[in-house]
Amino acid sequence: MPPVVKTLLLLNIVAFIIDMLFPMISGGMPLSSILGLYYMFHPNFHLFQPVTYMFMHGGLMHLFFNMFALWMFGRIMEQVWGGQRFLFYYLFCGLGAAFVQEVGQFYGFINPYVPTIGASGAVYGILLAFGMTFPNERLFIIPIPFPIKAKYFVMFYAAVEIFEGMNLSDGVAHFAHLGGMLFGFILILYWRKKMRRQQFGGGNFWSGNATRYEDEYDRGETLFDKLKKAFSGKKKPKMNVSYGGGKREKDYEYNSKKKRDNEEIDRILDKVRKDGYASLTTEEKNRLFDASKQ
């Protein structure tokens, strides 16, 4: 598990435990009543609440589903983006969710007297990022008996949040969920446009690796399917003629080199099958992608 996701999981779990124990020393007042996000004109509002509300949860199931989604999608996005960029994105979506929640309370769509708690806004932003990065990755969602592409899964969730936010008063911060997705969408578009100007990755994401990952899924294939297809057939080695220091590389030398390369690729693919793609080193990942382009 990558370090930022692991740290966020631990912080949320520890905060939940402290919140449960806090009434024992505060005369019955939960910690979430202090760290939860209040309406900006409420007397209990404080400037730290747009950050601290993300680590408060209303119950064990609320915590479980948020942390499960953070683990499921966040660990993948952290591996693609790196820890610093992922953490910035997570907090940016959480702050965006808080902003949209405040706007909804200002215009009377949301009860301004109830504090908002939970990491759902940031988690919905991560869900959107996964759908934009791997749009054709297939997900199995219980109880649906068939796989759904990530892009349709994200659009379905967004539509549900819009409908419930406009028609229900169930105490769930639907506008905060939409705010996390909206701010995440804006940030991803900004990053893509910025890197396109700098000519990174052919105008897709902000790094070559992210572009490579996106290309695999844009074709409707998982990463392992693409690698398996790339290396399933043995191509007949061609005669390689090169001159260096007045010496010509002979056929058997070239074939021997190709054999060693193929054995190394087979070793890496076996490692992927056994331990998953995340177990590979950066050098091994680069070897796979470079070989698949040949």
Dump pLDDT digits (tens) for 198-233: 644 444 443 434 444 444 444 444 444 544 554 454
50 and 147 share one domain: yes
159 and 100 share one domain: yes
- Asked if the structure places residue 216 within a domain, the reply is no
Pairwise CA distance, residues 112 & 44, whole Å: 11
Q: Which of 23-27, 77-81, 166-170 has the highest mean pLDDT?
A: 77-81
- Asked if the structure places residue 181 within a domain, the reply is yes
Pairwise CA distance, residues 91 & 50, whole Å: 10
- Asked if the structure places residue 261 within a domain, the reply is yes
Domain count, the chain: 2
191 and 240 share one domain: no
Tell me what the mean pLDDT of segment 137-149 comes to: 81
What DSSP designation does 71 have?
A: I
76 and 183 share one domain: yes
- Residue 198: per-residue pLDDT: 67
What DSSP designation does 29 have?
A: -
Q: Please say which residue of 159, 183, 202 terminates a domain.
A: 202
Please name which of 111, 97, 92, 93 lies closest in space to residue 39, comparing C-alpha atoms.
111
- Asked if the structure places residue 16 within a domain, the reply is yes
129 and 235 share one domain: no
128 and 260 share one domain: no
| Residue 186, domain extent | 3-202
pLDDT band, residue 27 (cuts 50/70/90): confident
56 and 197 share one domain: yes
89 and 187 share one domain: yes
Cβ atoms of 242 and 249 within 8 Å: the answer is yes
